[in-house]
Amino acid sequence: DAGVIQSPRHEVTEMGQEVTLRCKPISGHDYLFWYRQTMMRGLELLIYFNNNVPIDDSGMPEDRFSAKMPNASFSTLKIQPSEPRDSAVYFCASSFSSGTVIDYGYTFGSGTRLTVV
């Protein structure tokens, strides 16, 4: 299995531009998570999906951020318009549910390093 695949690995964009981050979860996983990591705040959960449906988006910082999961094998995180404070590493992770512990096989992608100048 190729694991969780994220693209691009690095993104540099100008303030005000739209940025789209992409994620392909592990086949068969029914949960998908988007995280943001900064030196100041560490890892933060932004939003997660179960069976392509957004379950909890309470971590999304503001309306400039949106996430979609049109099918079981693809998700996007969009920032529009981007701001310098959005600069961070964005991780996608996926897992599957089994019994009462619903997040087995929790696997992170390699992340997208976003720099907004």
Partner 1 sequence: KNQVEQSPQSLIILEGKNCTLQCNYTVSPFSNLRWYKQDTGRGPVSLTIMTFSENTKSNGRYTATLDADTKQSSLHITASQLSDSASYICVVSAGRGSTLGRLYFGRGTQLTVWP
Tell which positions 88-117 bind partner 1, by CB under 8 A. Answer: 91, 93, 97, 100-104, 106-111
CA dist., res. 117 & res. 113, Å (int): 13
Does 71 interact with partner 1 (rule: CB under 8 A)?
A: no
Among 12, 15, 51, 56, binds partner 1 (CB under 8 A): 56
CA R_g for the chain:
14
Which residues have a Cβ under 8 Å from the Cβ of 21 and sit 6 or more positions away?
6, 7, 8, 11, 76, 77, 78, 90, 92, 112, 114
Least CB distance from residue 69 to partner 1, whole Å? 15
Least CB distance from residue 100 to partner 1, whole Å? 6
Least CB distance from residue 110 to partner 1, whole Å? 5
- CB nearer to partner 1: give 75 or 109: 109
Q: How far apart are the first and last CA of the chain?
A: 36
**Phi, psi (rounded to 5 degrees) for 32:** -135, 135
Tell which positions 8-47 bind partner 1, by CB under 8 A. Answer: 31, 42-45
Compute, in degrees rounded to 10, the torsion defined by CA atoms 61, 43, 98, 107: 120
Which residues bind to partner 1, rule: CB under 8 A?
Answer: 4, 31, 42-45, 48, 50, 55-56, 58, 91, 93, 97, 100-104, 106-111
